[in-house]
């Protein structure tokens, strides 16, 4: 069996930057709690994305949770959330005992449809916050979404877990809303083995997030708590990996783009194949190269053919309003996200892939069209 080709696996720097910072943490015994790597990783990431401040947390999910708290979302509040996303976007709404309303995608961005969002504002004028996602590193239609949120005076939270390195009109995704979050989970464009970051231009809100994330300990010699606390902080060892990874983020984006362009050139002409959209405002990080199929070859056929050759691929996210756990919540839109789920497939987009690996994937997929047509 040939070596496995992954969808997107951890890729440490050739230079060993990560080990350097991790070793520093060991040498100074700043294993935990916190320490210099955490402080510096926060500063370095905030500066990279152009945000005033950042709080390093132990997951992107935790970052969304605390962003909702910072936005004042509580019991019974309504939160608009894209339906086409990973469940981690929606789960924290439930942690806060709030109520998600799922919003459809559009074909232009695969992300939150501004028209559906507008409709949702009409239906639920009392909405407390909006979460927008930049799926697979493609930016949502931010001008229109920001405008709508401003018009209705509602807090905007950006789930930029998949879009570190993606710019919308030259501005980094995650910095349009009052709060933005990033993830460093194992398959994201850079990874710390697991972790997240919450960014905001409000240093006061970020200070509050750090406070909540370390069990809400009041300033006192004894353990005193006047608020509910969480154990959500990132460790100093993990932050060291993050600092090293951040140094190669631009290289990773470049390689992801190369992979996308390779596939698009080789497969884009096949009957019924359409690659994820590209918009003039968007400089994506191309986290996962994805396409939709409208012909006889179905996504499952592609995934099975690749799996038989030890190559990983996967469907596009199954919409939240179709999930057994979430189907009782309201959904605003048509069938766009459902169709994207039905027809979409994410191709292996691992930055360690060689040209030979890419050829292998392309050969298998092209072969299926030869048989079918």
Ligand X SMILES: *Cc1c(COP(=O)(O)O)cnc(C)c1O
Q: Which is nearer to ligand X, 91 or 266 (CB)?
A: 91
Contact (Cβ atoms closer than 8 angstroms) between residue 135 and residue 317: yes
Q: Which is nearer to ligand X, 192 or 267 (CB)?
A: 192
Tokens of 261: 């362009």
Least Cα distance to 274 among 316, 311, 304, 310 occurs for 316
Q: Which is nearer to ligand X, 183 or 290 (CB)?
A: 183
Backbone φ, ψ for residue 98 (5° rounding): -95, 180
Q: How far is the CB of 96 from ligand X (least distance, A)?
A: 15
Q: Which is nearer to ligand X, 51 or 262 (CB)?
A: 51
Backbone φ, ψ for residue 70 (5° rounding): -65, -30
Q: How far is the CB of 180 from ligand X (least distance, A)?
A: 12
Site for ligand X, rule CB under 6 A: 59-61, 85-86, 88-89, 133, 159, 161-162, 183, 185, 196
Q: In what order do the strands lie in the sheet with 282-283?
A: 171-172, 167-168, 282-283
Q: How far is the CB of 110 from ligand X (least distance, A)?
A: 12
Tokens of 87: 């469940």
Q: How far is the CB of 186 from ligand X (least distance, A)?
A: 8
Q: How far is the CB of 196 from ligand X (least distance, A)?
A: 5
Contact (Cβ atoms closer than 8 angstroms) between residue 1 and residue 311: no
Contact (Cβ atoms closer than 8 angstroms) between residue 317 and residue 323: no
The gap from C-alpha 70 to its chain's centroid, in whole angstroms, comes to: 20
Grouping H, G, I as helix, E, B as strand and the rest as coil, residue 292 is strand
Torsion angle defined by CA atoms of residues 244, 7, 180 and 101, in that order, rounded to the nearest 10 degrees: -160
Torsion angle defined by CA atoms of residues 367, 368, 372 and 373, in that order, rounded to the nearest 10 degrees: -50
Q: Which is nearer to ligand X, 118 or 159 (CB)?
A: 159
Run of H or E including 60: helix 60-70
Q: How far is the CB of 95 from ligand X (least distance, A)?
A: 12
Least Cα distance to 183 among 231, 250, 139, 137 occurs for 137
- State the pairing for strand pair 171-172/167-168: antiparallel
Q: How far is the CB of 367 from ligand X (least distance, A)?
A: 31
Q: Which is nearer to ligand X, 155 or 297 (CB)?
A: 155
Other beta carbons within 10 Å of 224: 10
Backbone φ, ψ for residue 115 (5° rounding): -70, -45
Q: What is the DSSP letter of 80?
A: E
Q: What is the DSSP letter of 32?
A: S
Q: Which is nearer to ligand X, 133 or 320 (CB)?
A: 133
Q: Which is nearer to ligand X, 270 or 290 (CB)?
A: 290
Q: Which is nearer to ligand X, 111 or 343 (CB)?
A: 111
Q: How far is the CB of 182 from ligand X (least distance, A)?
A: 8
Q: How far is the CB of 227 from ligand X (least distance, A)?
A: 23
């Amino acid at each position: 069996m040939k070596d496995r080709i992954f969808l997107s696996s951890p890729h440490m720097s050739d230079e060993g930057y990560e080990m350097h910072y991790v070793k520093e943490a060991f040498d100074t015994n700043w294993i935990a709690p916190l320490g210099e790597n955490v402080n510096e990783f926060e500063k370095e990431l905030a500066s990279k994305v152009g945000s005033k401040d950042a709080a390093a947390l132990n997951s992107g999910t935790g970052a969304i949770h605390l962003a909702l708290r910072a936005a004042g979302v509580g019991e019974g509040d309504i939160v608009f959330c894209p339906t086409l996303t990973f469940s981690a976007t929606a789960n924290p709404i439930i942690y806060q005992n709030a109520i998600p309303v799922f919003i459809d995608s559009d074909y232009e961005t695969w992300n939150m449809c501004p028209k559906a969002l507008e409709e949702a504002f009409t239906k639920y004028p009392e909405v407390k916050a909006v979460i927008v996602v930049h799926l697979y590193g493609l930016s949502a239609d931010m001008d229109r979404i920001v405008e709508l949120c401003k018009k209705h005076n509602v807090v905007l939270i950006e789930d930029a877990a998949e879009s570190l390195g993606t710019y919308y009109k030259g501005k980094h995704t995650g910095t349009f809303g009052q709060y933005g979050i990033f993830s460093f989970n194992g398959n994201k464009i850079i990874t710390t083995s697991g972790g997240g970051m919450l960014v905001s231009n409000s240093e006061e809100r970020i200070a509050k997030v750090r406070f909540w994330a370390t069990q809400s300990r009041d300033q006192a010699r004894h353990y005193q708590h006047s608020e509910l606390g969480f154990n959500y902080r990132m460790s100093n060892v993990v932050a060291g990996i993050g600092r090293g990874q951040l140094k190669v983020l631009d290289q990773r984006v470049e390689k992801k783009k190369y992979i996308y362009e390779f596939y698009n050139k080789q497969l884009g002409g096949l009957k019924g194949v359409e690659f994820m959209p590209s918009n003039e405002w968007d400089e994506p990080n191309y986290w996962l190269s994805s396409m939709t199929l409208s012909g006889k070859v179905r996504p499952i056929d592609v995934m099975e053919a690749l799996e038989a050759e030890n190559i990983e691929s996967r469907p596009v996210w199954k919409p939240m309003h179709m999930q057994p756990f979430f189907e009782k919540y309201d959904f605003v839109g048509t069938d766009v996200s459902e169709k994207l789920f039905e027809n979409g497939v994410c191709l292996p987009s691992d930055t360690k892939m060689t040209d030979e690996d890419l050829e292998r994937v392309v050969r298998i997929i092209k072969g299926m069209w030869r048989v079918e047509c």
